[in-house]
């Protein structure tokens, strides 16, 4: 069975997207070489990336661009080459390299994906997807990068999810002020 992890940034006050549904604030500090290496090694979960439509469109609009290749070449190469799945009932096609579009029931589709052999899977962003899969007990670990910023308003990663009981499995602090916290179901 394949593992499914969540790799997301949150603000110090617990938001993963700001009041305008943006996540660009999480880019601050990406020039820290130790942190950049860590992200390159951990943000894929070792295999396939999973997205909801909104996050997919945001990622597909950035990572294939010359700007992404210029500023974060290692991450851009990884993001563009890894296999990807986008869950959407409204998209008609997924044009980003190595992307499959799945339109069926999210929970059923993820159960099928987890049952396949192969490398792990990782959800980036996609708060609505995270909340639904957390409620269904399908997420194996949550890797949360706490950013040294308070947004004041926004969306939490677990909007609509029931109370989750988690335990800390690992932590790491970076010179840029970011802290990585890895939680697993208790």
Q: What are the tens digits of pLDDT across the range 68-106?
A: 899 878 778 888 999 999 999 999 999 999 999 999 999
Confidence band (pLDDT; 50, 70, 90) for 21? confident
69-101 as b/e: b if 16+ CB within 10 A:
eeebeebbebbbebbbbbbbeeeeebebeebeb
Identify the H or E element spanning 131.
helix 127-135
Domains of the chain: 4-185 (3.40.430.10)
Tens of pLDDT along 27-39? 887 778 888 888 7
Tokens of 107: 């929970």
């Amino acid at each position: 069975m394949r593992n499914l992890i969540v790799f997301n940034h949150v603000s110090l006050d617990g938001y993963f997207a700001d009041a305008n549904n943006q996540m660009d604030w999480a880019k601050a500090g990406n020039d820290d070489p130790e942190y950049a290496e860590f992200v390159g090694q951990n943000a894929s979960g070792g295999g396939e990336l999973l997205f909801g439509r909104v996050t997919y469109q945001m990622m597909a609009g950035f990572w294939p661009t010359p700007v992404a290749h210029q500023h974060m070449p290692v991450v851009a190469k990884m993001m563009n080459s890894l296999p990807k799945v986008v869950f959407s009932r409204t998209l008609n096609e997924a044009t980003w390299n190595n992307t499959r579009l799945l339109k069926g029931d999210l929970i059923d589709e993820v159960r099928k994906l987890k049952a396949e052999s192969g490398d792990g899977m990782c959800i980036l962003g996609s708060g609505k997807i995270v909340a639904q899969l957390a409620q269904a007990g399908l997420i194996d670990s949550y890797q949360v990068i706490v950013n040294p910023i308070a947004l004041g308003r926004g969306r939490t990663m677990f909007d609509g999810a029931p109370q989750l009981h988690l335990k800390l499995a690992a932590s790491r602090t970076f010179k840029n002020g970011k802290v990585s916290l890895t939680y697993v179901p208790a």
